[in-house]
Chain A
C-alpha cells in the first residue's frame, strides 16, 4: 500500500534535515522512502506530518542510499554500524553462534538476494521509526531467536526412560488435598496476574520467564533498576493479596489458605501459569467491562 503523494514543501524540508544529498540521493528517491514509511505506519498514525518529523531522517537517508548501493553510504555504514551489529552479536552469544546470524544479516543488508533479477536489500524494511542501530539490534535478535527455534525443532524428543520424562513428585505421591490446593492456587495466581497492568505483566515475564536482570528490565522499560525492583515487589504483593481474597471468596478457611500456599512452597509441580494468563487476562477484561 502506498501513501498519498506527500507535500513538496515538507519533503524538501525533510530532505534538507536528512542530509540525504551527502549520499547523492535525489529528492524523489527520498520522497519514495518517506512515502513507503508513511504507508507502512498509516494505520497507527493520523497526523502524517507529525509522524514524518519524528522519523530518524538521517538514518532513513543512509538506509535508502545503502539499499541503492551507494558506495560512500556503504563505507559509512560499514564504519559506523557494522561494529554495532557485531558487538550486539557478541553480547548475545560469546561462543560466536550469534555471529553467524550477524553475518547472514549483513549479507542480506548488502542485498545478495535477488528477486526477478533485482537486488533486494533488507534495508527496504527500515522505515526510520527507530534509529538504525536499534533496528539492527532488533532484527539481529529476531534472527537469532528464529535460528534457536529451528534448532529446537530439529532436536530429538526426550527418551521416555530419561529422568526428565518421569512424572513429578506430585504425580508420584498423589495427595488429594494437595492436588486440589495446587489447582486452586494456580488458578487464583493466573487470575491475579491477569488483572495486573500490561506493563506489570511484562515486567514479571521479563524477570521470571526471560531471566533478565533488573538493569536490563529497567533499560527496556525506560525506568531505573531500583524502580523496576520496587514494581516487581509491588506486583508480588498485589498478587498475594488478590490470591488470598480469591481463596477466601471460595470459602477456604485461613488454615486452608495457608495450606494452599504451603502446598506450592516446596514444589510448585507442573503448573503452567502462563497458559492460564491469557484466560485470566480475558477474565480481567470482562471484570473491568462489567
Chain B
C-alpha cells in the first residue's frame, strides 16, 4: 500500500512537471505538415508509412500540435458507441413488452373496456342510456336502494360473474339521474332509432337509443366490430351497417338484405332511420347525409 502511495505521489509530480513545462514555448520544425495532410491523417486515410511519419512529426512539433489542437476543437462531438440498451433491436423491447402486457390484460379481462364505457357514460349526467329489457327493470325496481347504490363497488366481481352486471349498473345510474335527464330520455323514446350494438339484435319494437356524444363514441367504436342493424318506425324496413362502412336495406324485417348506395367516397359509421323512407347516415369524416327515398339519393345535411 505504502509503495502504491509512493508511486502515485511520484506520478503526480511527473504530472505537474509535464503540465507546467510541455506548454511552454516550442519552436516549429522545418518540415511541418500542411492542413491537407493533417486532415487526411485525422481521417486515417494516409498510407501506414506516411501516417507514422506524420505522427512522429506531430509528436515533436509544437507548431503542428497547436494547429492540431485548434482542429480538434472544430470537430463536433462524435456519436458515442451505442450501449446494449440503445441498439435498434433493444429499443423495441419496452414498447413490445407494454403492448404485449396490454394485449394480455385485454384478453384476460374483456369486460374492462365495457366498464370504461359505462364510466364514461356516468360522467355525462344528461346522457340517456339504452332502455333495458323489461324483466330487468322490474327486478331492479324491487332491489333495495342501498343495494342499488352499492352496485358500482361490486362492479369488478359482477362484471366477470354476470354479463348483466354492467346493464344493472347502467340502470342504477339511470335511477339516480336527475329529472331533466329523465325528460330527455322520454324525448329520446320518441326519437328515431340509431345504430347501436344493442340494436344488432332484431327486435319487434323500435328501440329508442342514445344519440349523445357518449353514446356516439360507443356506437361508432363498436360499429366497426360487427354489423349494426337499425329498425325504422316501420318494423319491416330495416337498415344494416356493415363493419367495412357499407349499408344494406331490408324490406322484409331482416329476412333478406340488399346493398344500398352511398354518396361517393363515403364510408358510413352510423345510421338513423327517421321514418320508413327517410334515413340519415354519418360518414367517417363526421359529415351527415340524408336520403328521403330509401337510400336511392343522398343530400348532405347542413350542420
Residue positions of A touching B, CB distance < 8 A: 44-45, 54, 87-89, 91-92, 125-127, 129-131, 134-135, 137-142, 144-145, 185-186, 189, 193, 198-199, 201-202, 204-206, 208-212, 215-217, 219-220, 222, 224, 236-237, 239-240, 243-244, 258, 261-262, 264-265, 268, 271-275, 277-278, 281
Contacts of A54 in B (CB 8 A): 45
Is the beta-carbon distance between B20 and A130 smaller than 8 angstroms? no
Which residue from chain A places its CB closest to the CB of B29 in the assembled complex?
A: A278
Contact B18 A210 (CB under 8 A): no
Chain B, interface size: which category? 35 or more
Give complex CA distance A198, B49 in Å: 13
Could you tell me the distance in whole angstroms from the C-beta of B223 to the nearest C-beta in chain A? 52
How distant is the Cα of A273 from the Cα of B38 in the complex, in angstroms? 25
Question: Chain B residue with minimal CB distance to A139?
Answer: B35
Cβ–Cβ contact B14 & A205, under 8 A: no
B39:A240 contact, CB within 8 angstroms: no
Contact across chains for A273 and B22 when beta carbons are under 8 A apart? yes
Q: How far is the CB of A109 from chain B (nearest CB, A)?
A: 13
Residues of B within 8 A of A (CB): 6-7, 9-26, 34-40, 42-47, 49-50, 52, 55-56, 58-60, 62-63, 65-78, 81
Most chain B Cβ neighbours within 10 Å, of A130, A135, A271, A281: A130
B9 contacts which of A212, A243, A265 (Cβ < 8 Å)? A265
Q: Pick the residue among A130, A198, A204 that contacts B18 (CB under 8 A).
A: A204
23 A-B pairs within 8 Å (CB atoms) are namely A91-B76, A126-B36, A129-B36, A130-B40, A134-B43, A135-B35, A138-B42, A138-B67, A138-B71, A140-B74, A141-B71, A142-B34, A189-B14, A198-B55, A198-B59, A198-B60, A202-B55, A219-B72, A220-B42, A220-B71, A237-B11, A272-B21, A273-B17
**Do A201 and B60 have beta carbons less than 8 Å apart?**
yes
Q: Give how many A-B residue pairs fall within 8 Å (CB-CB).
A: 185
**Interface residue SS majority, chain B:** helix
- A240–B13 Cα distance when bound, in Å, is 9
Distance in angstroms between the alpha carbons of A131 and B39 in the assembled complex: 8
A171 CB to nearest B CB, Å: 15
- Does B75 contact A268, Cβ atoms closer than 8 Å? no
Given contacts A91-B73, A138-B35, 8 further A-B contacts (CB under 8 A): A129-B36, A131-B39, A134-B43, A144-B70, A202-B58, A204-B22, A220-B68, A268-B16
CB-based contact B69/A215 at 8 Å: no
- Bound together, the chains give a CA A216 to CA B65 distance in angstroms of 13
Do B71 and A137 touch (CB < 8 A)? yes
A36 smallest CB distance to B (angstroms) = 12
Closest to B43 in A: A130
Chain A neighbourhood of B73, CB < 8 A: 91-92, 212, 216
- Residues of A within 8 Å of B26, CB to CB, are 209, 274-275
Q: Are A141 and B14 in contact (CB under 8 A)?
A: no
* Complex Cα spacing A265 to B69, Å: 27
Chain A residues with CB below 8 A from B25, complex form: 272
> Is there an interface contact between B23 and A209, defined as CB atoms closer than 8 Å?
yes
Q: Which one of B9, B19, B21 has the highest number of Cβ atoms from chain A below 10 Å of its Cβ? A: B21
Contact between A44 and B47, CB atoms less than 8 A apart: yes
Chain A residues, CB < 8 A from B52: 198
**Cβ–Cβ contact A281 & B60, under 8 A:** yes
